Amino acid sequence: MADDGWDASAEAWIAAIGARGDFGREHVLDPLMLERVCLEPVPRALDVGCGEGRFCRMLKAHGIAAVGVEPTQRLREEAIRRDPEGIFVDARAEALPFADADFDLVVAYLTLIDIADFRTAIAEMARVLVPGGRLLIANLNGFISASPDGWSRDAAGRHLHYPVDHYAAERVTWVSWSGIRIQNWHRPLSAYMAALHDVGMMLEFFDEPMPRSGHAETRARYARAPWFVVMEWRKTS
């Protein structure tokens, strides 16, 4: 398996993400993701690429039995340390070690951007869902992932715009922040939509959420461009 940076970045990730998550998770994605999760009873959920287990713990706090999948050993160890009674499995999204129709809900929370063979991963997520089960996805918006160097700024450092370029080309880039250096994949939204339709999933919800809370200046910056997409897909058979 090619080096994607996660092993070397695990400690920095744990320090940066903390217990509550970064701004985008805590103030943009978490409220909407939990709203969608809680629309229906969820006897059994799978969090693919669970990292240090933050969202698994949030699901557990809502009474949902959640299993986490995480291939990075240090992140998986941290998930177990923070929730010794939780179930955290060493596996990759492209080869989930579960039976067909094993889960009522599968969550991919900012996971697909880390996966090279995302089409196989999506097929695996669909496979382990019960008929009628839901796949809840949070992902970087393609306008953001097509701009890996971030904001263009003026001479005073003020944020001008995001320079979107080569949007249609699937590609991997290295991104760095807070001591973390990992690979992220950019793909146009149409690539994800086609892959999900191809495995029999039906789109039921789509949003490009804006911040609901947090520091006003950071909220204003996040509101200038759609950083994320949240999609909910249902397995049709």
Reported as a single tens digit per residue, the pLDDT across 124-142 is 999 999 999 999 999 999 9
Helices (H), the chain: 6-17, 23, 30-37, 54-61, 73-82, 118-127, 142-145, 189-198, 216-222
- State the Cα–Cα distance between residues 65 and 45, nearest whole angstrom: 6
Reported as a single tens digit per residue, the pLDDT across 151-164 is: 889 999 888 888 88
**What is the reported pTM?**
0.95
* Single-letter amino acid code for the residue at 163: P
Domain annotation covers residue 166? no
pLDDT above 70: percentage of residues in the chain: 100
Domain annotation covers residue 181? no
Domain annotation covers residue 173? no
Please state, rounded to an integer, the average pLDDT across all residues of the chain. Answer: 95
- State the Cα–Cα distance between residues 161 and 2, nearest whole angstrom: 33
Compute CA distances 118 → 42, 157, 206, whole Å: 25, 36, 19
Q: Give the HSE-up count for residue 235: Cα atoms under 13 Å, Cβ half-sphere.
A: 23
Is 1 a residue whose pLDDT tops 60?
no
Structural domain that includes position 129: 6-141+188-235
Domain annotation covers residue 41? yes
Question: HEC states along 118-133?
Answer: HHHHHHHHHHCEEEEE
Is 148 a residue whose pLDDT tops 80?
no
Q: What is the CATH number of the domain that holds 35?
A: 3.40.50.150
Domain annotation covers residue 151? no
Span of 110-114, 145-149, 196-200 with lowest mean pLDDT: 145-149
Domain annotation covers residue 158? no
CB contact at 8 A, 30 and 231: no
Tell me how many domains the chain contains. 1
